[in-house]
Amino acid sequence: MRWKRGSRLQLVTESEASPRVRGIFAEMRVCLGLPVVPPLYQAYAVFPEFLDRHWQGFRSILQSRQFFVLGARLAAECYTRAHNYFEIGPLDEDESGSSCDVALSLSQVLDYYQYLDPLLLLITAAQMQAFEGTPEGSAGSTEDARHASFPIAPRLLTDAEATPTVQRIWEERRRVLELAFVSDEHRALACWPDFYQQYWSALKGLLQSPLYQDCQYRIGESALRLARDLPTPQGTAIPDLLEAGLDSEQLSSLVRVNEAFMQAFTGLLLDITFARVGSEGGNHKGESPAGDMPDEKPVQSEKAVNRAAGAPIRAA
Protein backbone atom coordinates (compact mmCIF):
# COMPACT_ATOMS: atom_id res chain seq x y z
CA MET A 1 0.00 0.00 0.00
CA ARG A 2 1.03 3.64 -0.52
CA TRP A 3 1.36 6.19 2.25
CA LYS A 4 -1.69 8.45 2.30
CA ARG A 5 -0.78 11.90 1.05
CA GLY A 6 -0.93 14.45 3.87
CA SER A 7 -0.52 11.81 6.55
CA ARG A 8 2.47 12.01 8.85
CA LEU A 9 4.52 9.00 9.80
CA GLN A 10 4.77 8.89 13.58
CA LEU A 11 8.12 7.82 15.03
CA VAL A 12 9.48 7.48 18.56
CA THR A 13 13.15 8.39 18.97
CA GLU A 14 15.40 6.89 21.62
CA SER A 15 15.36 10.16 23.57
CA GLU A 16 11.54 10.15 23.61
CA ALA A 17 11.14 6.45 24.42
CA SER A 18 10.24 4.90 27.75
CA PRO A 19 12.93 2.92 29.59
CA ARG A 20 11.41 -0.38 28.39
CA VAL A 21 11.35 0.77 24.76
CA ARG A 22 14.91 2.10 25.01
CA GLY A 23 15.96 -1.32 26.28
CA ILE A 24 14.34 -3.02 23.28
CA PHE A 25 16.00 -0.51 20.94
CA ALA A 26 19.39 -1.29 22.47
CA GLU A 27 18.91 -5.06 22.15
CA MET A 28 17.70 -4.70 18.57
CA ARG A 29 20.73 -2.62 17.59
CA VAL A 30 23.06 -5.28 19.05
CA CYS A 31 21.20 -8.08 17.25
CA LEU A 32 21.44 -6.31 13.88
CA GLY A 33 24.87 -4.75 14.42
CA LEU A 34 23.57 -1.21 13.96
CA PRO A 35 24.59 2.15 15.45
CA VAL A 36 21.07 3.64 15.20
CA VAL A 37 17.44 2.52 15.43
CA PRO A 38 15.82 2.05 11.98
CA PRO A 39 12.59 3.99 11.31
CA LEU A 40 10.65 0.69 11.23
CA TYR A 41 11.27 0.12 14.93
CA GLN A 42 10.69 3.78 15.73
CA ALA A 43 7.27 3.35 14.09
CA TYR A 44 6.59 0.12 15.98
CA ALA A 45 7.39 1.99 19.23
CA VAL A 46 4.34 4.22 18.72
CA PHE A 47 2.51 1.09 19.96
CA PRO A 48 4.64 0.09 22.99
CA GLU A 49 2.46 -2.88 23.97
CA PHE A 50 2.90 -4.25 20.46
CA LEU A 51 6.64 -3.58 20.41
CA ASP A 52 7.05 -5.50 23.66
CA ARG A 53 5.13 -8.51 22.26
CA HIS A 54 6.92 -8.27 18.92
CA TRP A 55 10.35 -8.27 20.52
CA GLN A 56 9.54 -11.26 22.74
CA GLY A 57 8.68 -13.21 19.59
CA PHE A 58 11.39 -11.86 17.28
CA ARG A 59 14.46 -11.56 19.53
CA SER A 60 15.55 -15.17 19.06
CA ILE A 61 14.94 -14.91 15.30
CA LEU A 62 17.25 -11.90 15.00
CA GLN A 63 19.88 -13.77 17.02
CA SER A 64 19.93 -16.73 14.61
CA ARG A 65 22.28 -17.25 11.69
CA GLN A 66 19.36 -18.38 9.56
CA PHE A 67 17.82 -14.91 9.62
CA PHE A 68 20.94 -13.29 8.15
CA VAL A 69 21.43 -16.06 5.59
CA LEU A 70 17.89 -15.46 4.32
CA GLY A 71 18.52 -11.71 4.25
CA ALA A 72 21.64 -12.26 2.14
CA ARG A 73 19.64 -14.53 -0.19
CA LEU A 74 17.01 -11.82 -0.63
CA ALA A 75 19.70 -9.21 -1.36
CA ALA A 76 21.35 -11.50 -3.91
CA GLU A 77 18.00 -12.14 -5.64
CA CYS A 78 17.40 -8.41 -5.88
CA TYR A 79 20.86 -7.87 -7.35
CA THR A 80 20.18 -10.58 -9.93
CA ARG A 81 16.84 -9.05 -10.90
CA ALA A 82 18.22 -5.53 -11.20
CA HIS A 83 21.25 -6.70 -13.19
CA ASN A 84 19.30 -8.99 -15.53
CA TYR A 85 16.11 -6.97 -16.05
CA PHE A 86 17.04 -3.28 -15.86
CA GLU A 87 19.10 -1.26 -18.29
CA ILE A 88 21.57 0.49 -15.96
CA GLY A 89 24.25 2.75 -17.32
CA PRO A 90 27.41 3.71 -15.45
CA LEU A 91 26.98 6.26 -12.65
CA ASP A 92 29.96 8.45 -11.82
CA GLU A 93 30.96 7.58 -8.26
CA ASP A 94 32.88 10.71 -7.28
CA GLU A 95 33.79 10.07 -3.66
CA SER A 96 35.09 13.64 -3.33
CA GLY A 97 31.78 15.11 -4.44
CA SER A 98 30.00 15.07 -1.08
CA SER A 99 28.16 18.27 -0.20
CA CYS A 100 28.58 17.77 3.56
CA ASP A 101 30.87 16.16 6.10
CA VAL A 102 30.55 12.37 5.81
CA ALA A 103 32.29 9.61 7.76
CA LEU A 104 31.46 6.88 5.22
CA SER A 105 32.16 6.64 1.52
CA LEU A 106 29.35 6.28 -0.99
CA SER A 107 30.28 2.62 -1.46
CA GLN A 108 30.03 2.03 2.29
CA VAL A 109 26.61 3.71 2.37
CA LEU A 110 25.44 1.29 -0.32
CA ASP A 111 26.90 -1.60 1.71
CA TYR A 112 24.94 -0.44 4.76
CA TYR A 113 21.55 -0.39 3.06
CA GLN A 114 22.14 -3.50 0.95
CA TYR A 115 22.71 -5.27 4.26
CA LEU A 116 19.93 -3.63 6.28
CA ASP A 117 16.96 -3.29 3.90
CA PRO A 118 16.56 -7.03 3.14
CA LEU A 119 16.57 -7.77 6.88
CA LEU A 120 13.90 -5.15 7.60
CA LEU A 121 11.86 -6.45 4.66
CA LEU A 122 12.04 -9.97 6.15
CA ILE A 123 10.91 -8.63 9.53
CA THR A 124 7.88 -6.88 8.05
CA ALA A 125 7.00 -9.99 6.01
CA ALA A 126 7.27 -12.25 9.06
CA GLN A 127 5.25 -9.77 11.12
CA MET A 128 2.54 -9.64 8.47
CA GLN A 129 2.23 -13.41 8.64
CA ALA A 130 2.26 -13.29 12.43
CA PHE A 131 -0.65 -10.81 12.43
CA GLU A 132 -2.61 -13.36 10.43
CA GLY A 133 -1.60 -16.21 12.71
CA THR A 134 0.03 -18.06 9.82
CA PRO A 135 0.91 -21.50 11.19
CA GLU A 136 3.77 -22.10 8.75
CA GLY A 137 7.36 -21.72 9.86
CA SER A 138 10.34 -23.92 10.54
CA ALA A 139 11.73 -24.76 13.94
CA GLY A 140 14.68 -22.53 13.07
CA SER A 141 18.38 -22.89 13.63
CA THR A 142 19.97 -22.39 17.03
CA GLU A 143 23.33 -21.57 15.45
CA ASP A 144 24.61 -18.16 16.54
CA ALA A 145 24.32 -15.33 14.05
CA ARG A 146 27.29 -14.20 11.97
CA HIS A 147 26.65 -10.84 10.40
CA ALA A 148 28.02 -7.41 9.68
CA SER A 149 28.61 -4.80 12.35
CA PHE A 150 28.27 -1.13 11.47
CA PRO A 151 29.77 1.21 14.07
CA ILE A 152 28.91 4.30 12.00
CA ALA A 153 25.58 5.18 10.40
CA PRO A 154 25.31 6.98 7.05
CA ARG A 155 25.02 10.75 7.19
CA LEU A 156 21.46 11.86 6.32
CA LEU A 157 20.98 15.11 4.44
CA THR A 158 18.43 17.38 6.13
CA ASP A 159 15.83 19.48 4.34
CA ALA A 160 17.75 22.63 5.28
CA GLU A 161 20.98 21.25 3.77
CA ALA A 162 19.43 20.03 0.52
CA THR A 163 20.05 22.08 -2.63
CA PRO A 164 17.08 23.20 -4.74
CA THR A 165 17.91 20.41 -7.21
CA VAL A 166 17.84 17.75 -4.49
CA GLN A 167 14.63 19.23 -3.05
CA ARG A 168 13.08 19.03 -6.53
CA ILE A 169 14.09 15.36 -6.84
CA TRP A 170 12.60 14.55 -3.45
CA GLU A 171 9.33 16.30 -4.33
CA GLU A 172 9.19 14.53 -7.70
CA ARG A 173 9.79 11.18 -6.02
CA ARG A 174 7.09 11.86 -3.42
CA ARG A 175 4.65 12.78 -6.19
CA VAL A 176 5.44 9.81 -8.44
CA LEU A 177 5.33 7.22 -5.63
CA GLU A 178 2.69 8.96 -3.46
CA LEU A 179 5.00 9.10 -0.46
CA ALA A 180 4.65 11.10 2.73
CA PHE A 181 8.34 11.28 3.64
CA VAL A 182 11.87 11.11 2.28
CA SER A 183 13.51 7.78 3.17
CA ASP A 184 16.85 7.53 4.96
CA GLU A 185 18.30 5.78 1.91
CA HIS A 186 17.60 8.75 -0.34
CA ARG A 187 18.77 11.28 2.25
CA ALA A 188 22.04 9.35 2.53
CA LEU A 189 22.64 9.15 -1.24
CA ALA A 190 21.79 12.83 -1.62
CA CYS A 191 24.95 13.70 0.33
CA TRP A 192 26.62 13.19 -3.10
CA PRO A 193 24.38 15.54 -5.13
CA ASP A 194 26.04 15.01 -8.53
CA PHE A 195 25.81 11.23 -8.20
CA TYR A 196 22.27 11.50 -6.83
CA GLN A 197 21.11 13.64 -9.75
CA GLN A 198 22.57 11.16 -12.29
CA TYR A 199 21.01 8.29 -10.35
CA TRP A 200 17.55 9.85 -10.22
CA SER A 201 17.62 10.76 -13.92
CA ALA A 202 18.38 7.10 -14.73
CA LEU A 203 15.88 5.63 -12.26
CA LYS A 204 12.77 7.81 -12.51
CA GLY A 205 11.67 6.56 -15.93
CA LEU A 206 11.77 3.00 -14.66
CA LEU A 207 9.80 3.48 -11.43
CA GLN A 208 6.29 3.31 -12.88
CA SER A 209 7.07 0.76 -15.57
CA PRO A 210 5.42 -2.68 -15.49
CA LEU A 211 8.90 -4.20 -15.34
CA TYR A 212 9.88 -2.36 -12.15
CA GLN A 213 6.51 -3.03 -10.54
CA ASP A 214 6.75 -6.73 -11.40
CA CYS A 215 10.24 -6.96 -9.88
CA GLN A 216 9.04 -5.13 -6.78
CA TYR A 217 6.08 -7.51 -6.44
CA ARG A 218 8.30 -10.57 -6.85
CA ILE A 219 10.78 -9.31 -4.24
CA GLY A 220 7.86 -8.96 -1.82
CA GLU A 221 6.65 -12.47 -2.64
CA SER A 222 10.16 -13.82 -2.07
CA ALA A 223 10.29 -12.08 1.31
CA LEU A 224 7.01 -13.70 2.35
CA ARG A 225 8.21 -17.11 1.16
CA LEU A 226 11.56 -16.81 2.92
CA ALA A 227 9.86 -15.60 6.10
CA ARG A 228 8.13 -18.99 6.28
CA ASP A 229 11.58 -20.54 6.75
CA LEU A 230 11.95 -18.61 10.01
CA PRO A 231 10.53 -19.79 13.34
CA THR A 232 6.92 -18.69 13.76
CA PRO A 233 6.95 -15.75 16.21
CA GLN A 234 4.38 -16.05 18.95
CA GLY A 235 2.30 -13.37 20.64
CA THR A 236 1.57 -10.91 17.85
CA ALA A 237 -1.46 -12.42 16.15
CA ILE A 238 -4.47 -10.09 16.16
CA PRO A 239 -6.21 -11.88 19.09
CA ASP A 240 -2.99 -11.69 21.13
CA LEU A 241 -2.68 -7.97 20.56
CA LEU A 242 -6.31 -7.36 21.49
CA GLU A 243 -5.61 -9.25 24.69
CA ALA A 244 -2.54 -7.06 25.28
CA GLY A 245 -4.76 -3.97 25.31
CA LEU A 246 -4.61 -2.59 21.76
CA ASP A 247 -7.99 -1.48 20.42
CA SER A 248 -9.27 -2.09 16.91
CA GLU A 249 -8.29 1.39 15.66
CA GLN A 250 -4.72 0.97 16.91
CA LEU A 251 -4.50 -2.48 15.34
CA SER A 252 -5.77 -1.14 12.03
CA SER A 253 -3.13 1.62 12.10
CA LEU A 254 -0.40 -0.84 13.08
CA VAL A 255 -1.21 -3.26 10.26
CA ARG A 256 -1.30 -0.38 7.74
CA VAL A 257 2.09 0.88 8.96
CA ASN A 258 3.63 -2.59 8.65
CA GLU A 259 2.19 -3.10 5.16
CA ALA A 260 3.40 0.33 4.05
CA PHE A 261 6.91 -0.33 5.33
CA MET A 262 6.98 -3.69 3.58
CA GLN A 263 5.91 -2.05 0.32
CA ALA A 264 8.50 0.69 0.81
CA PHE A 265 11.35 -1.76 1.48
CA THR A 266 10.68 -3.73 -1.71
CA GLY A 267 11.17 -0.52 -3.67
CA LEU A 268 14.07 0.84 -1.61
CA LEU A 269 15.97 -2.43 -1.96
CA LEU A 270 15.61 -2.19 -5.74
CA ASP A 271 16.60 1.50 -5.63
CA ILE A 272 19.78 0.80 -3.66
CA THR A 273 20.66 -2.17 -5.86
CA PHE A 274 20.16 0.00 -8.97
CA ALA A 275 22.62 2.51 -7.47
CA ARG A 276 25.09 -0.29 -6.70
CA VAL A 277 25.03 -1.71 -10.23
CA GLY A 278 25.39 1.78 -11.68
CA SER A 279 28.30 2.62 -9.37
CA GLU A 280 30.04 -0.57 -10.54
CA GLY A 281 29.85 0.55 -14.16
CA GLY A 282 26.33 -0.55 -15.07
CA ASN A 283 25.31 -3.71 -16.87
CA HIS A 284 25.44 -2.41 -20.47
CA LYS A 285 22.42 -4.56 -21.32
CA GLY A 286 20.44 -4.16 -24.49
CA GLU A 287 16.78 -3.32 -24.07
CA SER A 288 14.48 -6.34 -23.78
CA PRO A 289 11.53 -6.58 -26.13
CA ALA A 290 8.38 -5.00 -24.75
CA GLY A 291 6.59 -7.32 -22.39
CA ASP A 292 9.38 -9.90 -22.51
CA MET A 293 11.10 -10.82 -19.25
CA PRO A 294 14.65 -12.18 -19.58
CA ASP A 295 15.51 -15.60 -18.29
CA GLU A 296 16.19 -15.30 -14.59
CA LYS A 297 19.78 -16.50 -14.42
CA PRO A 298 21.77 -15.72 -11.31
CA VAL A 299 24.46 -13.10 -11.69
CA GLN A 300 27.82 -14.54 -10.76
CA SER A 301 28.62 -11.78 -8.28
CA GLU A 302 30.13 -13.18 -5.12
CA LYS A 303 30.74 -9.56 -4.09
CA ALA A 304 27.00 -8.91 -4.04
CA VAL A 305 26.32 -11.84 -1.73
CA ASN A 306 29.26 -10.98 0.49
CA ARG A 307 28.09 -7.38 0.76
CA ALA A 308 24.65 -8.56 1.79
CA ALA A 309 26.04 -11.03 4.32
CA GLY A 310 28.17 -8.17 5.51
CA ALA A 311 31.51 -7.36 6.99
CA PRO A 312 32.31 -4.56 9.44
CA ILE A 313 32.77 -1.19 7.80
CA ARG A 314 34.99 1.60 8.99
CA ALA A 315 35.05 5.30 8.50
CA ALA A 316 36.41 6.46 5.17
In a domain, 158, yes or no: yes
The DSSP element (H or E) to which 126 belongs, if any, is helix 106-131
Check residue 98 and give its pLDDT: 75
Is residue 202 one of the residues assigned to a domain? yes
Give the percent of the chain with pLDDT over 70. Answer: 82
Q: Examine residue 84 and state whether it is found in any structural domain, yes or no.
A: yes
The answer to the question of residue 254 being in a domain is yes
Question: 151: closest CA among 19, 32, 272?
Answer: 32
What does the mean pLDDT of the chain come to?
Answer: 86
- pLDDT (tens digit, 9 = 90+) per residue, 136-149? 555 555 566 678 89
In a domain, 81, yes or no: yes
Residue 8 has pLDDT above 80, yes or no: no
Q: Which of 102-111, 128-137, 283-292 has the lowest mean pLDDT?
A: 283-292
Alpha-carbon gap, residue 188 to 195, rounded angstroms: 12
185-206 pLDDT tens trace: 999 999 999 999 999 999 998 9
Whether the per-residue pLDDT at 312 is higher than 60: the answer is: no
Long-range contacts of 211-218, Cβ-Cβ distance < 8 Å, separation of 24 or more: 211/85, 211/86, 211/288, 211/293, 212/86, 212/270, 214/293, 215/81, 215/82, 215/85, 215/86, 215/270, 216/266, 216/267, 216/270, 217/266, 218/81
What pLDDT, on a 0 to 100 scale, did the predictor assign at position 155? Answer: 96
Q: What is the pLDDT of residues 209-228, one digit of tens each?
A: 999 999 999 999 999 999 99
Q: How many independent structural domains does the chain possess?
A: 1
Q: What is the pLDDT of residue 100?
A: 81
pLDDT value at 44 more than 70: yes
Whether the Cβ atoms of residue 76 and residue 118 lie closer than 8 Å to each other: no
d(CA 211, CA 86): 8
296 in a domain, yes or no?
A: yes
Q: What is the pLDDT of residue 177?
A: 86
| Residue 259 domain flag | yes
Q: Which of 164, 147, 69 is nearest to 112 (CA)?
A: 147
pLDDT at residue 304 tops 50? no
pLDDT at residue 20 greater than cutoff 70: yes
CA atoms within 13 A on the CB side of 199: 30
- Residue 53 inside a domain? The answer is no
Q: Give mean pLDDT, residues 108-126.
A: 97
Can you give the residue range of the structural domain that contains 180?
68-309
Q: Are 122 and 202 in contact (CB under 8 A)?
A: no
